[in-house]
Structure 1
Amino acid sequence: LIQTNQSLDKLYIQENPKLKYRVLNHWDNLNGTVERGYAGYSIWNWERLPSYKEQRYTDYARANASIGINGTVLNNVNAQAKSLRTDWLVKASGLADVFRPYGIKVYLTAKFSAPKEIGGLNTADPKDPQVRKWWKEKVKEIYSLIPDFGGFLVKANSEGQPGPQDYGCSHADGANMLAEALEPYGGIVFWRAFVYQNERHVDRVINGYNEFKPLDGKFAKNVFVQPKNGPIDFQPREPFHPLFGGMPDTPLSLEFQITQENLGHAGHLVYLGTLFEETLQSDTYENGKGSTVSKVLQNYGESHGISAIAGVPNIGTDLNWTGHLFGQANWYAFGRLAWNPDTSSGEIAEDWARMTFSNDKSVISPVLKIMMMSRETYVNYTMPLGLNHIMNYDTHNGPEPWHDDPVWTAFDYHKITRDSIGVNRTAKGTGATGQYHNPVREMFDDIRKCPQEYLLWFHRVPWNYKMASGRTLWDELIYHYYKGVDEVRQMQTIWNELDGKIDRERFNHVASLLKYQEQEAIWWRDGCLLFFQDYSRLPIPANLEQPKHSLKYYKTIPFPHDWKGRYE
């Protein structure tokens, strides 16, 4: 209140968090790198732990405590078993000692095959008594070193990670084995629902629901099933995951991504508060109108006694912690929404802007305008109208709708042909719409009712399909891609209004990154439209800024720099 110049008259505030567990899921590797991290290396200096405790650990704890975060998973979901060895547990205990005064518990990602890899057993079968005994002894050891240890996060049977299905067991069998070991100490298990085996004949959108829905009610009382916010993988826009509202007898923890894996990395200004709010305020209709994802999460507190939310952070060794100055707003927004999932993203943005820059309206107004338009701007110049997963296969940055190899192809995600584009996920297609409650199911299933922002997610649409705007689908795609680039240029103009009103270092930092963002937005726009045009055979209107390079150019180099025309 002081920082935002609000009145302290008759001050009386009493707040309780709406969700019990508010946890960061670090994707930090033990070698100091961060998977899908774009703000430098891991801030955990494992070599010097536990003896040397860097000041930054305390700063980190204070920052998180200030926004109500009360837990942190130290290591990557693609885990190494050695993180559970005694020597590494001692190191983790050093961080737990720093975090404890700030009310933050330490969690670890557990690799399911740890009993084989570091335990000397020849199996990790959750039904094996020796395996169960090993986990109980390991958990006992952990609590002897970290008395307030929070529990385990597990990624299993997805993207090559080991899991209970390797032994003919279910996700519930695997989670409950760990839950049994943790239960005497008050520990919990976060069991991720992000599971797919990249089977080309199976629509990835329906995988998670199909695997976990039949297991509803079969998990131990101290297990969370943890889906991502949407059913694919942290895309710029996804419909909410149908498991929210679909597993009433199992507490779910929602996983957001704060790091911008598929949102331009730390080079793009994209305020994610609006994305988080869009998901949280989506109505599942689980118990009729008003059963928003936010309410579903909060209701687990009453029905199961526990509730949770998780975020994959964008924190690293960069001087400003997050790579892009505005990336700090996403870390902040996650914490605020974890405390109260019904808070307005606009209110959060204003609080952050006032505390970060100034309470001067001539500063706040342009900053807020940029923040509140930025996510939709990114969607416009990358994957509008429900397009998804057409980013570069290796880097997840920049366009690659043309990627096609025997293992992975972007064509599964856009299904482009001479006459149409989009994936039929209706009742007559892959059936993804059937995983939602009515009236959401009917809305998504009917092309006339489906919200435009999810059109190509759920439907195959002809190029000449007439949109609500009166434009054809082809012209609507062009409109959005060009609008996105224009909006980045608007963001530059708005930011330039702040020249002289904030310090030179931060002004130049953001100004230079907005120029970079403009370049990448053009890369997305031109690369995608030229690729789509190969199929639609329709023109880009002559009055618009025409692509400077050929499609071959964009297909040949994985970043948007003109190498003096050598690839033309």
Structure 2
Amino acid sequence: MKVITVLLLFFYCVVSGKAWSNEYDQGDDGYRLWLNYTFIENDTQRLLYLRQIANVQLVGQSDTISIIDRELKKALPTLLGNSINWSTNVPQSNGLIISKANSTLRHNYKLDHSLKMINNEGFIIKTVTDQKQNQHVLVTAKSDIGLLYGTYRLIQLMQTGKPLSDVNIVESPKIALRMLNHWDDLDRHTERGYAGESIWDWHKLPQYKEQRYFDYARANASIGINGTVVNNVNANSLILTPAWLEKVRSLADIFRPYGIKIYLSIKFSSPQQIGNLSTSDPIDPNVQKWWQGKAAEIYKLIPDFGGFLVKANSEGQPGPGDYGRTHAQGANMLAKALQPYGGNVIWRAFVYSHEEKTERSLQAYNEFVPLDGQFEKNVSIQVKNGPIDFQPREPFSPMFGAMPKTPLAMEFQITQEYLGFSTHLAYLATLYKEVLDADTRVKGIGSTVAKIIDGTLVNKNITAIAGVANIGSDRNWTGHIFGQANWYAYGRLAWDHDLTADEIAQDWIKMTLTQEQSSVNSITNMMMRSRENIVNYMTPLGLHHLMDTGHHYGPGPWVDNLGRDDWNPVYYHRADDYGIGLDRTSKGTNAVSQYATYWQTRFEDPAKTPQPLLLWFHHLPWDYTMPSGDTLWNELVKHYYRGVVATEQMEKDWLAQKNHIAPHQFNQVKMALEIQVEEAKWWRDACVLYFQTYSKRPLPNGLSKPDKSLDYFKSLTFPYAPGQG
């Protein structure tokens, strides 16, 4: 009977044209990320590539060279649909040569000038002609890691349909330390993580090395990320104990051939917690000796260990302030312990004191700027992009440009703590570019944030950038397929901040989703608008910190019952019968004084303040006349409604791409967009109803009233929302 049933089912599938595995074989599910080597369907372009690189010479022997070999053997036959000829000799006809720049290459292809333009991580991709008039694509560098980066760039050019004829790329990263910060706890909980539990299975390490660790390293190397902090900044001292350091070493061994150094977040009170000392005072000789011994222990296990990331005297974390010492004294104590080994201290500037009553946006500047020039040469101060905390929109932090004698590292958030977690499509390259391109004016026109962190405005010993990772154990890594684009875009901009958000989006789409050009164009438009859509339906016109308590999920502008004033949304929006917004001018908190004179003048005057930051700097009446001629109340409400309409349009635009996207990927995004549309309405309705209790004004004509009450929205609770601290 079973045989007959199977035969009938087979006959049905043949007649109906349905594949056996139709229900389950839905194509790529997102695991391959942008390393999705799909066949190049453009026959003309594919044939050109075949003529240019069908013969490959890879020179060298090392673990990194072996990775290059595997990557090329994985990518080229799949992309081109043909077998590739491999040789240890120069191809006898047109081909691909990948080799470090030895004397023969330098002489034959006149590389000396180009080589002077790159550092040890840089690479050259160049069309060259040999003595027999064969034309080759040459990938060369000063190091094996440079060759790895160059190889990934070559593959990327092919994935995105770029020509290789007459190619001449000479590149080095603009920033030296390009890091991911994982806020992963040792029990696999991930603070502000929305893609499953931590990818680090500490219990099984060091012996059990999951394939995902290698795939993680491969993905990071492909976009130039060269450092990773594997544990939460709210650190656990156990990470520094011998058993756990063995686990860390096993990861470092995996990452090393990919050019990735491992860093650790440390708890400042570790000498007391695991060292049996009675104090962690940074000027105590016994404490200094303990850290020196710990550094020696780590470097014996991990010779290329990157260093320490430190969150101190912030949100209850211990630090030098507990002993009346400065951040400089705390950081320098650790820096001196690492100096013999070439390690660095990355000291976070995200601090605000329980005792300090100064308005929160001023506190980091007030604590750190007076310490400029007091830090050891291997210390970098890691500053969040804005003065509060990764909000959908903030002005750039005034610390950028205010500490010319101290290296400042950028800290971006890739995980979407305040931008809808992993169910809202928010392409964050537009946010990153907004900050990087911001002109601080500290040294006149052109003093951009990017030039401050890359050392070109003022030479620095260390240049660094960090992104708080959105990576988890979900099959697609980031919870939302488009969350991958933020990981990818962060890496690309960390390497070269002059790239545009638009070109990065197009590359990611072609490498991950589809190469059909009309679809690429449509999805690019979606991505480029997406973050502004979220700003509109969450925090328009400079509003910020309106999220609900603890989990930061959903709106909570009414919250006013938390343990300190500056944890409450009401602290930031200051809505009252008169108007809305936080006055940070000279008549208010005077946060404007921390910016260069140019910005002080603009931020002081609401008519000159950029409209997207209006309520960040000003408390204005509900009937304040906006540039549009409308009232502030009407303009605010229209932004909220505009955000929802744009999100609904984004959902329609995605549905139109169904025939060009792998079903697994298409359906994942489709479901997420359905959630996003509903939650955009939730944000809009809850915020508008709440602010209306103060404005006492009707909605602008033509806008529908929310269908639920404010009390309903206030009643919602989410005790198990993911990613809570």
TM-score (norm 2): 0.76
- Whether 1:191 and 2:347 are equivalent positions in the alignment is yes
Deviations 1:516-549 (A, max 9, x none): 0010000000000000001111111352121011
**Paired amino acid for 1:465:** Y
Question: Where do 5+ consecutive residues of structure 1 fail to align?
Answer: 560-568
Query: In structure 2, how many angstroms separate the alpha carbons of the residues matched to 1:325 and 1:291?
Result: 35
Q: Which residue of 2 aligns with 1:25?
A: 181
Paired residue for 1:418, among 559, 574, 577?
577
- Whether 1:152 and 2:152 are equivalent positions in the alignment is no
Q: Which residue of 1 aligns with 2:423?
A: 267
Q: Which residue of 2 aligns with 1:519?
A: 678
**Paired amino acid for 2:685:** D
Paired residue for 2:465, among 291, 309, 323?
309
Paired residue for 2:657, among 498, 502, 505?
498
State which drifts further: 228-237 or 419-428.
419-428
Does the 8 A contact of 1:263 with 1:397 survive in 2? no
Paired residue for 1:455, among 588, 611, 614?
614
> RMSD of aligned C-alpha atoms?
1.2
Closer/same/farther in 2, CA of residues 522 and 141 from structure 1, 3 Å limit: same
Does the 8 A contact of 2:404 with 2:458 survive in 1? no
Closer/same/farther in 2, CA of residues 68 and 295 from structure 1, 3 Å limit: same
SS at match of 2:455: helix
Paired residue for 1:115, among 267, 271, 275?
271
State which drifts further: 295-304 or 539-548.
295-304
Deviation at 1:81, TM superposition (A): 0.8
**Paired amino acid for 2:395:** P
- Whether 1:429 and 2:588 are equivalent positions in the alignment is yes
Deviation at 1:336, TM superposition (A): 0.4
Deviation at 1:441, TM superposition (A): 1.5
Query: In structure 2, how many angstroms separate the alpha carbons of the residues matched to 1:438 and 1:270?
Result: 33
Q: Which residue of 2 aligns with 1:565?
A: none
SS at match of 2:158: coil
Deviations 1:381-431 (A, max 9, x none): 000000000101121121000001151422110111111111110111111
Deviation at 1:199, TM superposition (A): 5.2
- Whether 1:67 and 2:223 are equivalent positions in the alignment is yes
Does the 8 A contact of 1:251 with 1:300 survive in 2? no
SS at match of 1:227: strand
Does the 8 A contact of 2:492 with 2:504 survive in 1? yes
State which drifts further: 153-162 or 491-500.
491-500
Deviations 1:26-51 (A, max 9, x none): 00000011000000011111111111
SS at match of 2:490: helix
Deviations 1:454-484 (A, max 9, x none): 1000000100000001110000011100000
Query: In structure 2, how many angstroms separate the alpha carbons of the residues matched to 1:289 and 1:37?
Result: 38
Query: In structure 2, how many angstroms separate the alpha carbons of the residues matched to 1:34 and 1:377?
Result: 27
Does the 8 A contact of 1:50 with 1:91 survive in 2? yes
Paired residue for 1:235, among 391, 414, 417?
391
Does the 8 A contact of 1:83 with 1:89 survive in 2? yes
Paired residue for 1:353, among 509, 515, 524?
509
Count residues in correspondence.
560
Does the 8 A contact of 1:357 with 1:363 survive in 2? no
Does the 8 A contact of 1:427 with 1:445 survive in 2? yes
Query: In structure 2, how many angstroms separate the alpha carbons of the residues matched to 1:199 and 1:65?
Result: 43
- Whether 1:40 and 2:224 are equivalent positions in the alignment is no
SS at match of 1:434: helix
Deviations 1:192-233 (A, max 9, x none): 000012558321100100000000000000000111000000
Deviation at 1:511, TM superposition (A): 1.1
Does the 8 A contact of 1:19 with 1:301 survive in 2? no
Q: Aligned runs of 1:343-382 on 2, under 5 Å? A: 343-382=499-538
**Paired amino acid for 1:315:** I
Paired residue for 2:443, among 287, 302, 309?
287
Deviation at 1:300, TM superposition (A): 6.0
Query: In structure 1, how many angstroms separate the alpha carbons of the residues matched to 2:562 and 2:177?
Result: 41
Does the 8 A contact of 1:423 with 1:458 survive in 2? yes
Identity of aligned residues (%): 57
Closer/same/farther in 2, CA of residues 192 and 123 from structure 1, 3 Å limit: same
Question: Where do 5+ consecutive residues of structure 2 fail to align?
Answer: 1-156, 719-725
SS at match of 1:254: strand
**Paired amino acid for 1:208:** A
SS at match of 2:702: coil
Does the 8 A contact of 1:20 with 1:301 survive in 2? no
**Paired amino acid for 1:187:** G
TM-score (norm 1): 0.97
Q: Which residue of 1 aligns with 2:643?
A: 484
- Larger Rg belongs to: 2
Does the 8 A contact of 2:452 with 2:458 survive in 1? no
Does the 8 A contact of 2:516 with 2:660 survive in 1? no
Deviation at 1:342, TM superposition (A): 1.7
Q: Which residue of 1 aligns with 2:666?
A: 507
Query: In structure 1, how many angstroms separate the alpha carbons of the residues matched to 2:253 and 2:281?
Result: 34
